Amino acid sequence: MGRFRDRMDDDLRIRGYSANTRASYLRCVRHFVRHFMRRPDQLTPEHIRQYQLYLTRDRRVFWAYFNQIVCALRFFYRQVLRAKPTLAPSDGGRPAPGPCHRDIICH
């Protein structure tokens, strides 16, 4: 990711994000880019949609992690690449629940 990573880290610092949030957002974007094995500026809104489906259908990630990824990608595309991709809402419209702990009854 190179220059995009540096630019994103700088933009996160300028906006006062904590070190933990910066590390999480950078990790989320890095995993997204590695999933498609392309440069970040070559990934389209359709790639974002496919990744969100992968996270909810195949990986069945928990809502909090899904939301973190959405926020990281939104920041990356809007602030670093200056694009306006369509992303799933980061509030309200939760995806299917992730795997349950064996001691918790899922309804």
The torsion angle over the Cα atoms of residues 59, 77, 27 and 51, rounded to 10 degrees, is: 10
- Return d(Cα 84, Cα 19) in angstroms, integer: 25
- Return d(Cα 90, Cα 50) in angstroms, integer: 17
pLDDT digits 0-9 by tens, 2-38:
889 999 999 999 999 999 999 999 999 999 999 999 9
- Checking if the pLDDT of 100 tops 80, the result is no
- Return d(Cα 92, Cα 75) in angstroms, integer: 19
pLDDT band at 90 (very low <50, low <70, confident <90, very high): low
The reported pLDDT for the residue numbered 85 is 63
The reported pLDDT for the residue numbered 68 is 95
